[in-house]
Amino acid sequence: MNVLTPKTRAEIERQRDRYPQARSAVLPSLWAVQHQLGYLSPEGMTEVAELLRLTPSEVQAVASFYSMYFDRPGGRHHVLVCVNVSCALRGAEEIVSHLEGRLGCPSGGTTADGAFTWEHTVECLGACGGAPAMQVDHHFQENLTPERVDAILDGVRDAPAAEGPAGRPHRSGGSAAQRAS
Amino acid sequence: MAEYKLLTKDFGMDGIQTLAVYERIGGYEGLRKALRSMTPDDLVAEVKTSGIRGRGGAGFPTGMKWSFLPKAVHPRYLCVNADESEPGCFKDRALIDENPHQLIEGALIAAYAIQAPIAFIYIRGEYHDQRLLLERCVEEARTAGYIGRGILGSDFSCDIIVHGGAGAYICGEETALIDSLEGFRGQPRLKPPFPAVKGLYGKPTVVNNVETLSNLPHIVLRGGAWFASVGAEKSTGTRLFCCSGHINRPGVYEMELGTPIRELLEDECRGIWKGRSLKAFQPGGGSMQVLLPEHLDLPLEMDAVQRAGSALGAGAMVFMDETTCMVDVSMRLVDFYQHESCGKCAPCREGTYFESELMHRLEAGILTPAELATLTDICDNMNGKCFCPLGDTATWFVMSAYQAFREEFEEHCGAGGCPVKRRHAAMAVA
């Protein structure tokens, strides 16, 4: 039985037909699966493989390479905080400790009410001019202060999951502060 | 001297993201001129005359890159590298956010020059809103006849496909980008063959950076010779510098090449914040070597910065004030490369782990001097010995910082914590 909806399958077929070679549609297809399920389930990846005429292991091998695909379900909203140099120079670790306290779970975790999955990343988000910065459901939030973080989280907490994120990261580097201690 | 606004002159204009406004300010006239009055060879020659060098980091002359395509081998492809992920770099995001049609027009001009029937815009996964914006703009341009069959009544046809990545710095390396675009794990390929000969789907391929392409409408309209008259002799035109860190006014500033770095810092960034002084800066993003206050009078010119032992790279300037711990900064950068190492070659895959482990113990103040001495050895076994530049560059900042701030590194050994942070915390209390 299919786990993907007709809409998701149609999107994957549309992607497949856009490229000179169908395999190029793997990444966009995985995005379509994650948008529907919130993460990449084995069944979802098998359906992608069928639609693109690949083997499930070929699709899984691609999926596991990229840090933005999730391998398990997570909260309704996803918060990604940058701790690379430009953000660290302007207080990223303060934002990280604030989130940890506020959300009550370590990086990579999901809040008890299922509203948020959050993590910090050494991957520079490209928002250094507005450091410290984070992304909430893929949208940039810059010039953060603990108060601004609270206002942003309050603004989305009760909203339904946006089309796109959710899920839990399958790999995350520890925060510099955490790992040093 | 203030900013020299060429690519950024229409930033902030109301509605610039729409075709109507872009056309009203002369948008797509460069493409029109190229298609009506220039052959592809003319265009390649014009771009060679401009002297423009790639803005993605390596600084290779764009016209020369185009001319490496083998004659009469088709199809050819253009890949637009919008995978901007260099630590400290956010100019391509600005170019997309603030003038998306300028990039699309530039991509179409490049596609015409190399006779590519498809241009792929590979944009990093984190730039989700920027991808949606580009997709909308591509559809707008298609409806208006700038994309598709027989563009503007010419016999040139070209489609543009916007392709989103999914979180991998390495995909900014051109062969890894191609691997990823073909639907594989994004790992670099052995060169040669270079993409110009055997690239996407095994066909001749050109990979150009967003900023490089955004220059093309201006080069076509005002001429290569005019462009070459702007900037410095071997660094022509302007560049967008992404300024971040301990400065009063972070942001993207477009500067004529050749301008002293000091002017960028003092006039545009408004100096170091909180009345403090500059300790060090990185002129080209996370990959490049550290420079010191004594280097502020260097011109923003690729070769001059290289002679000083660093590089302008992708145009990211990260400024650090006197309170910054260079071990902490090095540790974060090393962590970044460890996280982003693709795993293809052992020196990078293993080396970045050794580096990261060592730097964390150093910053925590629990490393011994003998262990610190192995840092040079680890880096020697990586630099120049990795499959692609990622592994090499994972050593450049940390080694240059170790050299320039050796006492600070040594002071961390056995200190039971970060002595620099401890010192500044004590000063703040006093």
The per-residue pLDDT for B305 is: 95
Contact present, B12 and B98 (Cβ < 8 Å): yes
Decide if domain B238-321 falls under CATH 3.10.20.600.
yes
Shared-domain flag, residues A110 and A159: yes
> Helix (H, G, I), strand (E, B), or coil: what is residue B422?
helix
Choose among A24, A121, A126: nearest Cβ to B181: A24
Q: Is residue A13 part of a domain?
A: yes
Shared-domain flag, residues A24 and A106: no
Chain A contacts in chain B segment 296-335 (CB below 8 A): 316, 318, 320, 324, 328-329, 331-333, 335
Which residues of chain A neighbour B127 with C-beta distances below 8 Å?
126
Chain A contacts in chain B segment 113-152 (CB below 8 A): 118, 124-129
Top-tier CATH class for B326-429: mainly alpha
Q: Which helix (H) or strand (E) holds B32?
A: helix B29-37
Shared-domain flag, residues A53 and A11: yes
Shared-domain flag, residues A88 and A170: yes
Inform me whether the pLDDT recorded for A173 exceeds 90: no
Inform me whether the pLDDT recorded for A174 exceeds 90: no
The per-residue pLDDT for A164 is: 53
- Cβ pair A62:B338 closer than 8 A: no
Shared-domain flag, residues A121 and A159: yes
Query: How crowded is residue A166: how many other Cβ atoms within 10 Å of its Cβ?
Result: 24
The per-residue pLDDT for B269 is: 98
- C-alpha to C-alpha distance for B77 and B207, rounded to whole angstroms: 9
Shared-domain flag, residues A22 and A107: no
* Per-residue pLDDT tens over the stretch A35-91: 999 999 999 999 999 999 999 999 999 999 999 999 999 999 999 999 999 999 999
Q: Is residue A77 part of a domain?
A: yes
Q: Which of A66, A97, A112 is the last residue of a domain?
A: A66
Which residues of chain A neighbour B246 with C-beta distances below 8 Å?
89-90
- Cβ pair A66:B168 closer than 8 A: yes
B90 touches chain A (CB under 8 A): yes
Contact present, B419 and B412 (Cβ < 8 Å): yes
The per-residue pLDDT for A1 is: 79
- Cβ pair A85:B87 closer than 8 A: yes
Among the listed residues B92, B125, B86, the one whose alpha carbon sits nearest the alpha carbon of residue B318 = B86
Structure tokens of B394?
Answer: 């994972």
- C-alpha to C-alpha distance for A146 and A102, rounded to whole angstroms: 10
Q: How many interface pairs between A and B have CB atoms less than 8 angstroms apart?
A: 162
Choose among A20, A128, A135: nearest Cβ to B126: A135
Task: Decide: residue B201, CB within 10 A, 0-12 exposed, 13-18 middle, 19+ buried.
Answer: middle
The per-residue pLDDT for B430 is: 66
Shared-domain flag, residues A51 and A137: no
- Cβ pair B332:A18 closer than 8 A: no
Inform me whether the pLDDT recorded for A177 exceeds 50: no
The per-residue pLDDT for A163 is: 63
Among the listed residues B328, B187, B104, the one whose alpha carbon sits nearest the alpha carbon of residue A62 = B187
* Per-residue pLDDT tens over the stretch A115-167: 999 999 999 999 999 999 999 999 999 999 999 999 999 999 988 887 654 45
- Cβ pair A67:B166 closer than 8 A: yes
- C-alpha to C-alpha distance for A162 and B132, rounded to whole angstroms: 15
Chain A contacts in chain B segment 155-184 (CB below 8 A): 161, 163-169, 180-184
- Cβ pair B125:A66 closer than 8 A: yes
pLDDT of chain B, 430 residues: tens digit per residue: 589 999 999 999 999 999 999 999 999 999 999 999 999 999 999 999 999 999 998 899 999 999 999 999 999 999 999 999 999 999 999 999 999 999 999 999 999 999 999 999 999 999 999 999 999 999 999 999 999 999 999 999 999 999 999 999 999 999 999 999 999 999 999 999 999 999 999 999 999 999 999 999 999 999 999 999 999 999 999 999 999 999 999 999 999 999 999 999 999 999 999 999 999 999 999 999 999 999 999 999 999 999 999 999 999 999 999 999 999 999 999 999 999 999 999 999 999 999 999 999 999 999 999 999 999 999 999 999 999 999 999 999 999 999 999 999 999 999 999 999 999 988 877 6
Strands B316-321 and B238-245, by their bridges, are: parallel
Q: How far is A2 from chain B (nearest CA, A)?
A: 23
Structure tokens of B9?
Answer: 């002159």
Q: What is the CATH number of the domain that holds A78?
A: 3.40.30.10
The per-residue pLDDT for B427 is: 81
Shared-domain flag, residues A78 and A51: no
> Would you say the C-alpha torsion B289, B294, B296, B299 has a positive or negative sign?
negative
Structure tokens of B345?
Answer: 């070659």
Query: Would you say the ipTM is above 0.90?
Result: yes
- C-alpha to C-alpha distance for A83 and A127, rounded to whole angstroms: 11
User: Domain range spanning residue A17?
Assistant: 6-66
- Cβ pair B182:A24 closer than 8 A: yes
B249 touches chain A (CB under 8 A): no
| Residue of B8, B131, B171, B339 to mutate, testing the A interface (most A Cβ within 10 Å of its Cβ) | B339
Buried/exposed B312-338: b ≥16 CB within 10 Å, e otherwise: bbbbbbbbbbebbbbbbbbbbbbbbbb
Distances in whole angstroms, Cα of residue B296 to Cα of each of B111, B265, B289, B293, B308 = 39, 8, 14, 6, 11
The per-residue pLDDT for B1 is: 58
Model confidence band, residue A171 (pLDDT cutoffs 50, 70, 90): very low
Q: How many domains is chain A built from?
A: 2
- Round to the nearest angstrom and report the end-to-end CA distance of chain B: 40
Which residues of chain B neighbour A167 with C-beta distances below 8 Å?
none
Shared-domain flag, residues A76 and A61: no
Q: Is residue A1 part of a domain?
A: no
Shared-domain flag, residues A147 and A117: yes
Shared-domain flag, residues A167 and A113: yes
Decide if domain B19-229 falls under CATH 3.10.20.30.
no
State the pTM of this model: 0.95
Inform me whether the pLDDT recorded for A178 exceeds 90: no
Domain ranges for chain B: 19-229, 238-321, 326-429
- Cβ pair B87:A84 closer than 8 A: yes
Query: How crowded is residue A159: how many other Cβ atoms within 10 Å of its Cβ?
Result: 11
Would you list the DSSP string of B364-391?
TT---HHHHTHHHHHHHTTTTTSSSHHH
> Helix (H, G, I), strand (E, B), or coil: what is residue B184?
coil
Q: What is the DSSP letter of B272?
A: B
Would you list the DSSP string of B112-165?
HHHT-SEEEEEE-TT-HHHHHHHHHHHHHHHHTTSSBSSGGGSS--BEEEEEE-
Structure tokens of B372?
Answer: 């610190």
Choose among A26, A30, A138: nearest Cβ to B129: A138
Strands A77-82 and A116-121, by their bridges, are: parallel
B340 touches chain A (CB under 8 A): yes
The per-residue pLDDT for B59 is: 92
Where does B284-413 have alpha helices with state H? 302-307, 326-340, 346-363, 369-372, 374-380, 389-404, 406-412
Q: Which of A66, A93, A108 is the last residue of a domain?
A: A66
Choose among B167, B242, B252: nearest Cβ to A67: B167
- Cβ pair B90:A179 closer than 8 A: no
Q: What is the CATH number of the domain that holds A10?
A: 1.10.10.1590
- C-alpha to C-alpha distance for B365 and A67, rounded to whole angstroms: 31
Among the listed residues A70, A60, A72, A76, the one whose alpha carbon sits nearest the alpha carbon of residue A26 = A60
Q: Quick check: bond before B192 cis, omega within 30? A: yes
- C-alpha to C-alpha distance for B286 and B314, rounded to whole angstroms: 9
Contact present, B237 and B52 (Cβ < 8 Å): yes
Q: Which of A66, A91, A116 is the last residue of a domain?
A: A66
Shared-domain flag, residues A96 and A53: no
- C-alpha to C-alpha distance for B312 and B302, rounded to whole angstroms: 6
